[in-house]
Chain A
Amino acid sequence: MTDPSSNTGRKIAAALVLAGLAAVFFNLVAVTRPSGELRTIKDYTPWSAATLAVAETLPVQDGGRIKPLATYAGFNMLAIHGARSLTVAGNDGKPLTLTPAAWLLDTLFRPHFAVEHPTFRVDNSAVLEAIGAKPRGKRDRYSYLDLEPGLDKLVELAAAYEQLDSKQRDALQQQILDLAYNVRDFESLLGQLDFARSGVVIGSEPNQQRIDISTVMTKAPKIREDIATAQREGKTERGPAEFLYQESAQAANLAMRGMNIFPPAAATERSWPSAGALIMSVLTGASPTPEPAIRDITTLEKTARALDAGEAEFLTELSALRDELTQRAGARGEGRHLALEAGYNRADWFLNAFVVFFIGALCAVAMWMAGAGRAGRILARTTLGCALGGLALCVIAIVERCLIMQRAPVGNLYDTIIFISAAGVLLALVIEGFTRRRFALGLAPILGTLLVFLSRRYEMGDPKDHLDPLVAVLASNFWLTIHVITITLGYAAGLLCALLSTLYILMRGLRLDRADGELRRILSVAVYGMVCLTLFLSLVGTVLGGIWANDSWGRFWGWDPKENGALLIVIWTLVILHARLGGFLKEWGLHFASAFTACVVVFSWWHVNFLGVGLHNYGFTAGKNVLWTFYLAMLGLIAFGTIAKWLESRRS
């Protein structure tokens, strides 16, 4: 006969897990979706797929590497907009979803539309009030035109807050500063091709005449000569040559920052110039061979103006520009992975993995509820399929990232999250292979869901391109590579053993296991095994880190918080194993200690980065409260287990 309390507990547990998953899902969706109404942009037409496909693979030098425009656009959009998609409506009122490339194409080539896009994410309406713009709802997005009335005030406030030490700024001041930086970056993109569209206008109505910047560049020697002559002759009035020079320099200035898209002819020159830099190099006479720069600017002017003749013409010019730049980059041995990276962006492997894991997590809950019948078997297979599917997507993404970065998979904090996602799921499936109780099987997609969710939230909070190259000390060292991978696997193992114990405590505490001694024994053995694996990986990883530090910096151990964090995992797992061996930890105790491992791992993996000291300090502070919530939750779980243990002993 079924124990009624067990059924109730089972429902409570299922409800808890479902509530957690729902919170994760809505958290991920809520923060990326604006809360305001859909913006209609008059006469807006979306870019064709063909145009977007070409634009996405345009090479750009940014962050020290060559990347496709899609990546560049994606991180700019994520930083300014808080998401990698934006929805507007055209004349027919139907929603149109803009990809990062579409958003950037608008910003560069159709700024009259771009200024109407709800691009800027402002979470705090007090920011809008402070700068004198009209606030809308929470998490709403604002267009450049919405912010325009407050831009002067924004610049003024930002200049004042920039002088303050970052620790002294309050949240509002920081948000105002962030908005000011976002506006600056957006304006930089917005004005990038002004010169190509407008050139330099001379004369006054009705005899106005537009002169292309490329034409001004061609005449640069003569212009410089005329200016020098005027100066020699002591003329104080601005002559036409000086006017042209100054106007062109001003236009170049707008195109100076951001879009470094021109591979230089000289192989020794590693930095790609922007259009603004090319213009100035010719105007000032700094470039001994101005012809290639003039050709590049002419091509850009042609591309920008082709849009007047329609998108088909624009596509032809854009394709020619992309092919030319890609071919030149290829001749320098650069940009070999542009297509792969553009495909990586398009595929959005991790989002797909999240969806698959999430479905798997729902199936897992249903599987545990269904029990051992036919439905349970079907759900188990579906859960396994989802876990394997999500894992495959993560592995594909990690392998693609390695190919793009040309380095080992783990080099920064973002890399660790996705690596731990894949490793954690794989380990859970391996444990299931040994235990065959559908316990670890259900955990696999849940762990995958949580960690992929974490990676996306982290990326939103720190919208930097995590594929960018590593600093010198982290680059190319065998011991470092092995150390980072091993220690990261240790984190994965530690988290998994804590998760196994968490479910053990909940299961036994809520009396879901119907006092199945064999199930408990198997789980305890699995947790013990995972503690051993965590110890092995963390110990070897920690010592490898010391060996690397000794090779690179001359000291095996520097008491850096990150090193200490890894050592804490080693020590804690040793405590568990010795206490277990000595009989000080029985079954409940083993799981309490194992659940606490999650706190130790999270301290080492995340918390030390907030301390503001050491070589591994990432200098960020956002999200610290989440850590404390996590610690409290784990301690709450242990307290719950302690009460359950006491009640159990009373019953028996």
Chain B
Amino acid sequence: MEHPPLPAAPKPPPTLATRLLGFLSGLGLATVLLVLLGLLTWLATLEQIDSGLHHTLRKYFDWRAWYLIPELGGKTVPLPLPGGYWVCALLALNLTLGGLLRWRRDWQRTGVLIAHLGIIYLLVAGAVAHHFSQRGHMLIAEGAASDAAEDYFEQVVEVAEVKDDKPAAIQVIGGKYLTDLTDAASRRVRLPALPFDVELSAYLPNAEVKALASGASPAGVAVIDGYYLLAKAAELNAEANTPACVARIVGRDGRNSEPFLLSSTARQPFSVRSDGRVFTVLLRKRLWLMPFSVRLDKFTAEFYPGTMKPSKYVSNITRSESGRDAKAVIQMNEPMRYANLTFYQASYQQLGQGPSARMASVFEVVRNPADKWPQYSLYVVTFGLLVHFITKLAGFIQDRPRPAQHD
């Protein structure tokens, strides 16, 4: 007697974790994230025309930007979008899970998995560069030397004691203690190494110091010694912003100085006397000390004959470290890499006029722990895609219809 076949055991319903894994690794999520990334990239490309690159990047791709409202041509586009950083982070997770899961089911997708890993490596490289790289520029005149690069954007307050006519024991108040001091906010920054603290307020990212004599100050703006800070619209090129703020010395004995203005355009630092000692207070871009000094021996700018089209910029430098000198050449497309720092030939300037004019070279200085990672990721991605596409092409050639079937 034959027994009827037993019905297959019903599949257990997927658990919440399985469903979540399915969602996070799904092609649907990948597609949506890619569309969002494309949209963000496109909008950021257009928005930087009116808002400048620095501002646009902070708005679209900074990790602190959870969401954003785009603006085109100065008009708001009523389309809230997630921040690009988090779209990329989620995409990296999706790529990892999706690649692994699909590869587990079908080994022929090895090429795709390799390519996914390469892209993840690239995204990680971007994140590492975003969080840990440092950049600045160094301007050196011919014959002069420098051991410090200047940050492109971060403005800091430097407080130093003047000893033997030189600043000593420099205390630096970082930009993050300044930039949130808009409106009526103020902050007292404690400086234990000094006989006083500093109170900062009324920070303006781009401002001009105006004399009261040139016109009345806007309502609500503090006038100090006949001067006030006039806010200006942010420059498209954020490097050109000239921030300013109001500062005050707060003595340990509770006696406070009168407030004074700090501006990045000031030619001289503000001087303070305390306990018979002289201190200076200065708002400037952060200086970044190098582990060696660089002297510009010679700068050469060559142009194609009969034109002002540059053909070559070459800086001959001497690098000095612990009493040892080493010669090096930095030129366009050929940077100097040393001690995890890279010096690029960025531009040049002529300092002064007439016979006393000197040429100066501007180097971009970068420290990026992920410097070569994109290059390595490219090798991985290229290899992965080649494996995948060759597999696919081979399949297509095998399956394609016979030639000459027109008749």
Contacts and interface: CB of A to CB of B under 8 A. Distances in A.
Interface stretch (B63-71, B196-204, B310-318): B310-318
A30 interface: no
Nearest to A477: B333
B31 interface: yes
Contacts of B231: none
Given A64-B306, A581-B27, A436 B389 contact: no
B210 to A, nearest CB: 27
Nearest to A611: B49
A170 B282 CA distance: 47
Interface in A475-495: 475-477, 480
A272 B305 contact: yes
A205 interface: no
A540 B304 contact: no
Contacts of A477: 333
Interface in B218-265: none
B49 A554 contact: no
B122 interface: yes
Interface in B293-352: 303-307, 309-313, 332-333, 335, 342, 344, 346
A500 to B, nearest CB: 15
A552 interface: yes
Given A260-B306, A477-B333, A555-B135, A377 B406 contact: yes
A254 B309 CA distance: 24
Contacts of A575: 31, 34-35, 38
A61 B35 CA distance: 51
Interface string A540-584: 100110110011111111010100110110011011001101101
A356 interface: no
A565 B45 contact: yes
Contact of B310 (A471, A535, A555): A471
Contacts of A564: 41-42, 44-45
A608 B45 contact: yes
Interface string A374-405: 00110010000000000000000000000000
B9 interface: no
Nearest to B302: A472
Contacts of B28: 582, 584
A395 B390 CA distance: 27
B47 to A, nearest CB: 11
B344 A578 contact: no
B396 A434 contact: yes
B53 A578 contact: no
Interface stretch (B156-164, B173-181, B354-362, B376-384): B376-384
A554 B135 contact: yes
Interface stretch (A78-86, A135-143, A525-533): A525-533
B184 interface: no
B129 interface: yes
B93 interface: no
Given A532-B392, A613-B48, A271 B305 contact: yes
A65 interface: yes
B387 to A, nearest CB: 11
A611 B310 contact: no
A556 B125 contact: yes
Contacts of B122: 543
Interface string A47-77: 0000000000000011111000000000000
A260 B306 CA distance: 9
A518 interface: yes
Give chain A's interface secondary structure class: helix
Interface stretch (B139-147, B187-195, B397-405): B397-405
B400 A435 contact: yes
Interface residues of A, number: 68
A536 B393 CA distance: 13
A579 B31 contact: yes
Given A435-B400, A529-B393, A613-B49, A578 B27 contact: yes
B38 A571 contact: yes
A612 interface: yes
B26 A550 contact: no
Contacts, number: 170
Contacts of B407: 372, 377
B82 interface: no
Given A559-B44, A579-B27, A611-B45, A63 B307 contact: yes
A452 interface: no
A525 B335 contact: no
A526 to B, nearest CB: 9
Given A543-B378, A550-B374, A579-B27, A556 B41 contact: no
Given A469-B311, A554-B364, A568-B42, A536 B389 contact: yes
A436 B38 contact: no
B48 A436 contact: no
Contact of B344 (A376, A554, A579, A582): A554
Contact of B53 (A522, A525, A559): A559
- Counting contact residues on chain B (CB < 8 A from A), the size range is 35 or more
A529 B392 contact: yes
A539 interface: yes
B41 A571 contact: yes
Contacts of B22: none
A55 B390 CA distance: 54
Contacts of B135: 554-555
Best-surrounded residue of B305, B342, B405 (most CB of chain A within 10 A)? B305
A1 interface: no
B37 interface: yes
Given A471-B309, A552-B333, A571-B37, A578 B381 contact: no
Contact of A539 (B27, B30, B31, B381): B381
Best-surrounded residue of B42, B304, B396, B405 (most CB of chain A within 10 A)? B304
Given A546-B374, A556-B125, A582-B27, A64 B38 contact: no
B366 interface: yes
Contacts of B400: 434-435, 522
A582 B381 contact: no
A197 to B, nearest CB: 25
Contacts of A582: 26-28, 30-31
B172 interface: no
B27 A64 contact: no
Contacts of B333: 472-473, 475-477, 480, 551-552
A446 B225 CA distance: 74
A438 interface: yes
B375 interface: yes
A270 interface: yes
Contacts of A613: 48-49, 53
B377 A543 contact: yes
A447 B400 CA distance: 25
B389 A533 contact: yes
Best-surrounded residue of B61, B306, B405 (most CB of chain A within 10 A)? B306
A435 B375 CA distance: 36
A555 B406 contact: no
Contacts of A64: 303-307, 309, 311
Nearest to B399: A525
Given A557-B126, A571-B41, A612-B49, A540 B310 contact: no
B101 interface: no
B406 A472 contact: no
28 contacts: A63-B309, A64-B305, A260-B306, A271-B305, A377-B407, A380-B406, A436-B401, A469-B309, A471-B309, A472-B333, A475-B332, A522-B401, A540-B385, A543-B377, A546-B374, A547-B374, A551-B333, A552-B335, A556-B126, A557-B126, A565-B45, A571-B34, A571-B37, A574-B34, A581-B27, A584-B28, A611-B46, A611-B49
9 tightest A-B CB contacts, nearest first: A64-B304, A582-B27, A270-B305, A554-B366, A571-B38, A543-B378, A271-B305, A564-B45, A554-B344
Given A552-B335, A553-B346, 16 more contacts: A260-B306, A271-B305, A372-B407, A436-B404, A472-B311, A536-B382, A543-B374, A551-B335, A552-B332, A554-B335, A555-B135, A568-B41, A579-B31, A582-B26, A613-B48, A613-B53
